[in-house]
Structure 1
Amino acid sequence: MRFITMVDIRKLNSPKETKGKIKGIIFDFDGVLSSFQMRIGWPILNAALMVKPELSRKRIIDTTMVIFDHLTTLEKMPKKTELLKLIFETGKRFGMSNFQALKFIVITSIIYAKNRKRIVPRTGVREVLQELLAQDFIMILLTNSSHGVIKVAKERIPELNRFDLILTRDDLKAIKPSEEGFLKVLELTGLKPEELLSIGDQASDIIASKKVKIRTIATFDEGMEFTKKHLIREKPDFIISDLQEIPELLRFLRDRIIEDIRTTIDLTEKPLQEYLLSDELNVKYTGP
């Protein structure tokens, strides 16, 4: 088994031999491989609607965006008291009274405890991982989730057992948007930043990747399309809506260098071929 954790700190003996430019892929977990909505979003939303059934979709979206913005500032997991305060403030943003916000804390805590390890793989994720594993990419998981969650995830997504490196929040002193995890990836794999791609669904993934000059692919979970503006603000190199687009994008990038990405290549708006035909990308071919 090639699985490495921080318990066994060592470099991979040597990076796998791959023909192209991209040699390794760094995946986030929630919202990329597994549904963010089912494990985290649904408990919060369900609790909010139980306390305040008349909540509008606009208020839910606006409040979610505020929470996401707040999460981009955290480099350590909040303490229990800080988390309770955050849930209370979220309730207030939903327009709840103090009593309703306290009730919201209790219900959210109960529902989340029951769903904390509910892993629902995103559509097509296992097939995508199987295809990438067959191509001998160095496969890395870097997540703010806990080791306990990933232990369960490896049962629902068995391909995780074949990953070369898995780093959870329990393995690091700081979480994304800190760059610590990405620096550890560089140390343990021996790869250069330009040989890696990072795939995430949060601004914190993009921010942390950019700190160490790793190219970024942003994606959003089903039902979370409204987070796109949150992602684009951080200027990822690419943005996609479906993880099943990854193999095609990687086939393109494996033998080419896009030398100057000045604006996000938004593949939710038009396909890559249209960008190429319009000369919007400065592409250098590195194949044989």
Structure 2
Amino acid sequence: MMTLQPIDGVIFDMDGLLLDSESLAMDALIHAGAAVGYDMPASFCRRMVGVAADGCRALVLETYGESFPLQAFFAAQEVHLRDLVDAGRLVMKEGVAPLLDYLDAEGIPRAVATSSSRVRADHHLALTNLHWRFDVIVTRDDVTRGKPDPEPYLTAARQIGVPAAQCLALEDSHSGARAAHAARIPVIVVPDLLEPNDDIRRKALAIMEDLHMVLDFIRQARS
């Protein structure tokens, strides 16, 4: 576990941390599997939580073989997810608004570092009226290597002008927590669909139940 330096910037994951979207993505993956003739269990789909599209593609091919209709599968998943989102199923996670209000009041820069594409991130953040609340949004399309590589977090820290060690990362997924840790950014994990394993507990600064606890933590750390 890393020690905490002054918190001068905060970098947020998006799916499962800011937005209650991981369950929608799981639904869309299972639906897409059925659409192309494959029974894709939730236990397998859960392995793709927090993983960028290229990593998900590699995982699917490794599991189901090179003959798997990859393009049709991910196209069906994208359509179904968009339908769920546009039907009003996408909502913010509990505690997002007060945490962002506090960062506004304190003048603390903040960024999003997500494994989602630019199109998906912009759509989801605009739909939930969150897009304008971040100084920087780094997507999978903006980096060469996605999470668990540290590049998304290092890019976000650089773009908000805060040294990595003086940022705080907020994550729900194993892949994202590993990315932040590899970037030498202290990370608080707020679990969503994935419970933290021993490796994640070692890498995390703390495991917290929700973003209200994160807000209390940041207030105390800066007092």
What is the TM-score normalised by the length of structure 2? 0.75
Q: Measured at CA, do residues 106 and 87 of structure 1 come closer, stay the same or move farther in structure 2, by a change above 3 Å?
A: farther
Cα distance in structure 2, aligned partners of 1:170 and 1:177: 15
Q: Is this contact kept in 1: 2:157–2:167, CA < 8 A?
A: no
Cα distance in structure 1, aligned partners of 2:20 and 2:205: 23
Cα distance in structure 1, aligned partners of 2:157 and 2:74: 37
Cα distance in structure 2, aligned partners of 1:241 and 1:156: 25
Cα distance in structure 1, aligned partners of 2:174 and 2:8: 24
Matched, 1:115 2:45: no
Letter in 2 for 1:30: D
In structure 1, stretches of 5+ residues that fail to align are: 1-19, 90-97, 256-288
Alignment of 1:263-278 (within 5 A): none
1:242 Cα shift?
Answer: 1.3
**Partner residue, 1:240:** 208
1:85 Cα shift?
Answer: 2.3
**Partner residue, 1:181:** 152
1:233-257 CA-partner distances (Å, limit 9, x unpaired): 55211111212222101111224xx
Q: 1:36 aligns with which of 9, 21, 27?
A: 21
**Partner residue, 2:186:** 215
1:21 Cα shift?
Answer: 2.0
**Partner residue, 2:168:** 197
Q: Is this contact kept in 2: 1:217–1:239, CA < 8 A?
A: yes
**Partner residue, 2:6:** 21
More helix by share: 2
- Secondary structure of 2:15's partner? coil
Cα distance in structure 1, aligned partners of 2:174 and 2:139: 18
1:173 Cα shift?
Answer: 1.1
Q: 1:88 aligns with which of 46, 64, 68?
A: 64
Cα distance in structure 2, aligned partners of 1:185 and 1:107: 31
Identity %: 23
Letter in 2 for 1:77: D
1:49 Cα shift?
Answer: 8.1
Alignment RMSD: 3.6
- How many residue pairs match? The answer is 212
Q: Measured at CA, do residues 233 and 86 of structure 1 come closer, stay the same or move farther in structure 2, by a change above 3 Å?
A: farther
Q: Is this contact kept in 1: 2:112–2:136, CA < 8 A?
A: yes
1:87 Cα shift?
Answer: 7.1
Q: Measured at CA, do residues 151 and 190 of structure 1 come closer, stay the same or move farther in structure 2, by a change above 3 Å?
A: closer
**Partner residue, 2:222:** 254
Cα distance in structure 1, aligned partners of 2:77 and 2:158: 39
1:143 Cα shift?
Answer: 0.9
- Secondary structure of 1:26's partner? strand
